[in-house]
Every structure is written in structure tokens, then in C-alpha cells.
Structure 1
Amino acid sequence: MDSMGTSRIETAIQRISESVFVGLCNIAGTSQMVAMRRDMMEINDILNCKPTDSRGYTLMLSGSKKEGFRLKGSDIDIMMWPNNHRVISKLSQFQYYNINRQTLILSDCSNSPPGFTLLYLINPSTHGLIRKACVKMNERQCVSSSKYRQVWCSISPGFTQHGPCIYQEDSDFDQAISLYSDFWPPSASSWIDRCHSWPQPHVVDDIVKNGCHFVAIGHKLGRHENHEWRISFSLAEQKLVYAMNHSQALTFILLKLFIKEIINNEIADDDKLLCSYHMKTAVFWVIQQNIIPHCCPQNLLEGFWVCFKLLLKWVYEGVCPNFFIPENNMFLTKIYGEAQNQLFMRLFGLYEKGLASLLHSPSISPFIINVLFNPRLSICTNEHTLISETMFDLKVFEELYAKNTPFIQNLQRSFMYLHKIEYMINLPLLTQS
């Protein structure tokens, strides 16, 4: 093909990318709307989720809604951990705590697969659920993840187990029961060294200083599956999504729609091998490797295609490296053998169709067809023209009413909310990178 023909194709793809960008802004939100939602969620967290004392639990919202996106069918994910328990990875970290107020738990990864660990009590727990979940192992008290889930379900009528979560039928949220560490796990130290170009140093520092979580689920091939805990980087991932520019974030949204409406279409939940977390992992790797230096509306589909090819490579090799602990192959227990071959053939069939495979997505195809049928159509990607001030104000009120207004039970609780609001007045709003 001559250079003129190649140039025409590139121009056409750029224009389709612009149209898909506008469509995704309509579906998931403009950068201004996303930033507003994140601020709303942060305010909700401060008012309702952050602890007021060392007793009780801390709650943390996660998932696409916390990240500021509104997609049909998105669940609300909640992480929950006791305030007076902390996980440490070295005994030298003992010095930072008052053991009269904190129960310390030691993480020992030496006998677990990458990304997983055993947790041992260092000093006696005052928490009844933790005590009931302990089993004796290697002459030490090991906090068993399976027992911890069972204990939680036993005191939560109507709740059942779902992976590391407990959930209630007909509920739109999962509760991941977890434990928290103030420290970044040593097994993820290589991630810090990889962060040359993305994310920026201040984001890396913020992620590392906020530590990690441990969720109550073991590795299916681990020697101690019933007792192991998975190291979770949910908070770090949230901060990484915040560090994306809007085109990068919409590339992730496009991949979520791609897997939901095309790859996993008409497949039973139990038979689905790929999930949105795999898509998020691919986006993280592609951004960090700087394959597309400047992601923008004009090359959004190029970014999508790079991520899809990386996913195809992972399925072919049977290896999906965790972004923080690459030694943790997230395909190991599910995508292998005949299931791996069938998934690869399914994905390769989509690869052979090229970007035309997106025409199978009911959410995205109208924005592609619009350009194909109107080749001279002018597309404006200026986000300020995509939503009027009046409509934006309406969206703000929708978000306000969507949140549960705190029920003021007594005067003391009223003063607590007022104190938190005074605190928030001095906080900066989240800014879009």
C-alpha cells in the first residue's frame, strides 16, 4: 500500500478513536465529572468510613465507582479491617507500636506462593473473631483465612462466602474482610525500582507510605491454602487509576466493555476465565512501559489494541504477571490446558478481525458506525463542549442524592460530623492529572 493510502487509514482510525473517546465520555464521564465523583466518594469516606478511634473497623470503598466511573452493572466493593490490628513483615517494625493497644501480626511469605503469605500472631488478640480463627502451626498461632471467613459468616445472618468476600443475596456490594499493614511488602520492592517514568515519584511515595492489605483467601496451589492470605494492593491500584490521564482511563473502560460485551458474552459466570482485573493489569503494564508515550483521544484505539495484544500474548504463554509482584502468575490456577487453548482461539479470532471486532459491542459500535457512515463528520473532543454547565450541576446533585445521607442519631454524632467537615474545609480537592 502506498504512503497516501496508509495516511488515509491512519486518519480514519484517528477519527474513529475520537468518536469512541466522545462515546466513552458519555458512558463513563468526562474528566471533570470523574474528578467530581472522586471528590464526592472521598468526602463520603471521611464522613462514614474513616475510624474515629482504635475500636471497631475501618471501611474502604473500592472498584470502578470509587474510581469515579459509572458503568451499568458495576458492583460496590468494600474492604473492612479491624483498627487495632496491624500486620508487619519484620520484627524490627515492632518498635513503632504500643502492644497494649495494638495486636501485631507477622507476615511470613517463605512457605507460600508469590503474592501470598501466612499470618502469625505476635501478641494476644483482643478481637474475638481473630482468636476464633487461629490454628496452631509451627508452634505458633496462625490466623487462618478460611476460618476467619467462616467466623464472619457465622455472625452475619444471610451472608455467604465469595472468594475473600462475604456477600448477601440481592445485594450490590461485596465485603472483603481483610487486615492492614502500614508497611509496603518486601515482596513488592521491585515495583518501586521499576517506576522510572510512571507513576511520578510523589505518587510512588504516596502509594508506598500507605502500605497494603491482606485479604482472606489462599492460593489454590499453596501448601497451606486454607490458612494463607493474599497480599492486596487495592489502595495502590486506586491511586494508579487516579494518576492516569483521561484517555488512559477510558482505554481501561473500553477494555472493561470489551471483555463484558464481547469476550465473556453469553458465557456463564463460572466459565469466565478473564475479568476486568486482568484488563486493569494490562493497562498498568502498557503505561509503565511507555509503549504509547502520549495517550490522547486520537490514539485511544491504538492504546486499546496494544493492551489487547499484550493480553493475547499472556493467554498464549499462560502467564499474567501481577503488576506489583510479577512472580505471581494470575493465570496459574485457571488458564491452562484445554481452557487456555480455547480462550486463545477465541481471542485470536477477535485479533484477526482487528478493530472491527469492536462492532460486536452494543455500547461502542454506534460511535464507530457514526464515523464510517459520515466520513466528513467533524468530531470535537474538547470535554467542555460535551456537557453543559447545567447538566454538570445536575450530575453533581445526582451524586449527592445517590449517597446515603448520614442519619444523625444524637448530638454527639452531629458534633462528630461537624468536626469532620471543619477538617475537610482545609483539605485540597483531588485534581485530575
Structure 2
Amino acid sequence: EDVHIRREVNALYVYAFCLPSCREYLSGSKGEGFLFPWSDLDIMVSKLPPEEISMESFHNDCAYIATTNGCKPGFCKLIQSYAKCDYYSRVEFLQLKQHAGFNVNFDQTIRGPCYSTNFPDGFDCCYALPVHPDSSNVFLRTFKTKFWNGVKLEIMNKNITVMHCVPKGPEKGDDDGHQWLISFSILEQNIVHSLNHVQF
């Protein structure tokens, strides 16, 4: 019961403090409502439209097109929809975020796709680009979901954003820094939150 209440409080916090340009998701053990003394706070900061991604095809409402051609499984490359240019570099993306946040958290360091800082109490922040629901719904239709408690149907009917691209590349084979990890962490969170105590 305590875990459920903390999840509700977290959801209310995310809703209340949603900025016009981005949305924050609480993840990790604290985001799941658990209070472990050794756990820090994990946050995913997702850009909002029009900073969305369309998978494999052009979309009028999306700033980027993702392609999996030439990528490791689970990764993609991003191309700006309205510009004829090279792939969008995740390295440059991270550097821009680091410069923008320097005056806020001067001790921040890059750890994988996240910025880690000890201020005020220690947290990891992962900046992400959302995949448009039109693309994620196509992907979800291929899933068999007997144990999802109606989560799949709710996500598709309400066009909930559950897929993201995060600035993390494969261990090998991406020296240019162009491959982004396709993340399903928010989808997984929706599934976990739907489970009752017997299923969990």
C-alpha cells in the first residue's frame, strides 16, 4: 500500500511540474515507490512536441526520422526531418545539455546516457527524445500481451508516449556517435504499475 501511494505521489509531481518544453519521468527504485537508503534519484527528461521521432518514415509532426539501417539491434540513427544533413550526433546532444546545465550543477559528470550529480542529494538525469505514439503504436500491435492488464489497449487508445531514444550507443561499432538506444523504460514502468501484489 505504501508503495502504491508513493507511486501516486510521484505521478502527481510529474504532472504538476511538467514544463512546456519537456516532461520528467521518475524511474529507478525511488520512481517505483521503494525507499532504499542507498538509492539515488533517477530522472528521464523527455522533450515534448515537436521534438518527436518518427520511426522509419516522415511524419508532419516530428522533427526527426529514425532509421535502424546499419545499426546494432535495439539502436537507431536520427535524421532531422526538414534538413538535409548528417545523422544527429548523440555526442553533440550530450555536450549541449552539459553546457546548459553547468551553472545549475557544476559537479555533473556524464555516465552513460545520464548526467550524475551529488547536488542536492544525488541523482542521475537522462535526457531523451520521444518516439511519436503513431510509431510506437505500430510496434505495440506486434506484441502479444496476455499479462498486461489492459495496459497495451490503454496506451494505444490514449496515444501515450512510451518509447524514447536516449543518447547511449552500442559498446562497439559506433565510433561516430550516431547510434541512439531505443528505450522502453516508460512502457515497462506502465506494465509494472499495472500488476497487482499477486502478479508482482
Which residue of 81, 93, 109 maps to 2:68?
109
- Per-residue CA shift, 1:378-407, capped at 9, x if unaligned? xxxxxxxxxxxxxxxxxxxxxxxxxxxxxx
Letter in 2 for 1:80: V
- Tell me by how many angstroms 1:226 deviates: 1.2
- Out of 209, 217, 238, the residue aligned to residue 189 of structure 2 is 238
Q: In proportion to residue count, which structure has more helix? A: 1
Compute the RMSD of aligned alpha carbons: 2.4
Decide whether aligned partners of structure 1 residues 190 and 210 sit closer, same or farther in structure 2, where only a CA change above 3 A counts. closer
Task: Work out the CA distance in 1 between the residues paired with 2:5 and 2:140.
Answer: 34
Q: Secondary structure at the match of 1:140?
A: coil
Question: 1:185–1:163: structure 2 CA closer, same or farther, 3 Å change rule?
Answer: farther
Q: What per-residue deviation string (whole Å, max 9, x for no partner) do you get for residues 92-117 of structure 1?
A: 532xx2xxxxx610001111111100
Q: Which runs of 5+ in 2 are unaligned?
A: none
Indicate conservation of the 8 Å contact 1:78/1:173, yes or no. Answer: yes
- Alignment of 1:189 with 2:134, yes or no, is no
Alignment correspondent of 1:13: none
Give the equivalent residue in structure 2 for 1:37.
Answer: 6
- In structure 1, the residue matched to 2:59 is 93
More strand by share: 2
| 1:184 Cα offset (Å) | 6.4
Contact 1:111–1:223 (CA<8 Å) still a contact in 2? Answer: no
Secondary structure (helix, strand or coil) at the match of 1:167 reads strand
Q: In structure 2, what is the equivalent of residue 165 of structure 1?
A: 114
Tell me if structure 1 keeps the 8 A contact 2:26–2:43: yes
Cα distance in 2 for partners of 1:223, 1:34 equals 40
Taking the aligned partners of 2:70 and 2:40, their CA distance within structure 1 comes to 34
Give the whole-Å Cα distance in 1 for the aligned partners of 2:132 and 2:140: 18
| CA–CA distance in structure 2, aligned partners of residues 193 and 215 of structure 1 | 22
- How far off its partner does 1:206 sit? 3.0
Q: 1:309-328 maps to which residues of 2 (within 5 A)?
A: none
What is the one-letter code of the residue matched to 1:244? L
Greater Rg, structure 1 or structure 2? 1
Q: CA shift at 1:90, angstroms?
A: 4.1
Map 1:2-13; keep pairs closer than 5 Å: none
Q: Distance in 1 between matches of 2:128 and 2:67?
A: 16
Partner-residue secondary structure (3-state), 2:52: strand
TM-score, length-normalised on structure 2?
0.83
Indicate if the aligned counterparts of 2:58 and 2:65 stay in contact, CA closer than 8 A: no
Letter in 2 for 1:42: A
Q: Which residue of 2 aligns with 1:146?
A: 91
Match of 1:269? none
Counterparts of 1:243 and 1:106, CA distance in 2: 31
| In structure 2, C-alpha distance between the alignment counterparts of 1:180 and 1:59, rounded to whole Å | 12
The runs of 5 or more residues in structure 1 that have no matched partner are: 1-31, 98-102, 125-138, 250-433
Read off the aligned partner of 2:115 and give its amino acid letter: I
Q: Contact (CA 8 Å) 2:56, 2:67: kept in 1 or not? A: no
Q: Paired residue for 2:22, among 48, 57, 60?
A: 57
Query: Which of 106, 122, 147 lines up with 2:81 in the alignment?
Result: 122
CA contact (8 A) 1:112 1:224 kept: no
CA distance in 1, matches of 2:69, 2:54: 14
Post-superposition offset of 1:155: 2.8
CA distance in 2, matches of 1:93, 1:70: 41
